[in-house]
Structure 1
Amino acid sequence: MAPPSATNNGRTSNSRRSKIEMKEVEQRNRRCVTFSKRKLGLFNKLTELSLLCRAETALIIISQNGNVYSCGYPTTDAVLRRYITGASSEQCRGARRREQEEFLEKQRLEYESVQDELKEKQKQLKEMKEAQKNSSCFVSWWNLSTDNMGMEDLEQFKISLESLKLNLITVLQEKKLH
């Protein structure tokens, strides 16, 4: 029987964590598996270090197969750009802030456009409901005015009319058979 301090794969058998001996893994398959497992650990440590120390970090790893992996805080590109240009942290923050403001402005404009479109659709719906309420009979959707429809609505209207036509032909053929 082996003593309690005997090692298994570089670890002691007791519940404490111990260091694994650092040596090159001989078999290619095992080396690839080890790389995959430890790569994630490196990325986690780098991110943790960045957050704890408010450091801007970048890590680039090229595997034996030639695959490139990168991790960085805030982003690998931002850190490398700062390193290459020699820009200060304040300059990078200013550029990042401008990029964020431009992005937010673009999002705001898109939001307003969607809001305007929604208001227009609500207005059309209200008009349709009013017309239906004021009409003595049901207003058929195929009799709606196409003047206020956009291209997308017109395309959908055309598809609906074609579908209605096919349904009518099918019903007529069935009635002729019976």
Structure 2
Amino acid sequence: MGRRKIAMEKQESQSKRHVTFSKRRVGLFSKAAEMCMVTGAQIAILVSSPSNNPKIFSFGHPSADTVIDTFLTNSSPATSMGDCTKESLRPLYREVKAIEREMKIESATQNEQKKKTSREEWWRSEEYKDWESIEKLQAYAKALEELSNNTRARLESMSLEVQKNH
């Protein structure tokens, strides 16, 4: 599966919004680390999560605090640091890559759990909450009614077989 362009619109589902936030945050931090490595720029990024219990995530080189203090005091960037070299940024870059790997693992685990739940207890799915048309809900209700009728007929058939065998 290749990359595809995702429309820039607010995710209505809280879980989709959380996953999108996490993936995009990691991507943003990764690009910032690459920019530091390539240009030697000092960067600070603060991101607030869109959850009920918001958290602040930060990224910075040499540190978010150093860059923010420099900005707030209108002072020039630390001259003692000299030019940022690739070697000095490698640990930071490795940390961002480790976070990316963790996010991929977490995403794969969530997808596997979602598949497992959908196979075992598909009726508990909240997928219908994302449907915006009454036609989809009516089709879903009709399919559930048909399933119920088929299940009832099979149960009656099996009950008759059991009664014949006893």
Q: Under TM normalisation by the shorter chain, which class is it? A: 0.3 to 0.5
**Higher gyration radius (CA):** 1
What TM-score does the superposition give when structure 2 sets the normalisation length?
0.44
The answer to which structure, 1 or 2, has the higher relative contact order (CA under 8 A, 6+ apart) is 2
TM-score by length of 1: 0.41
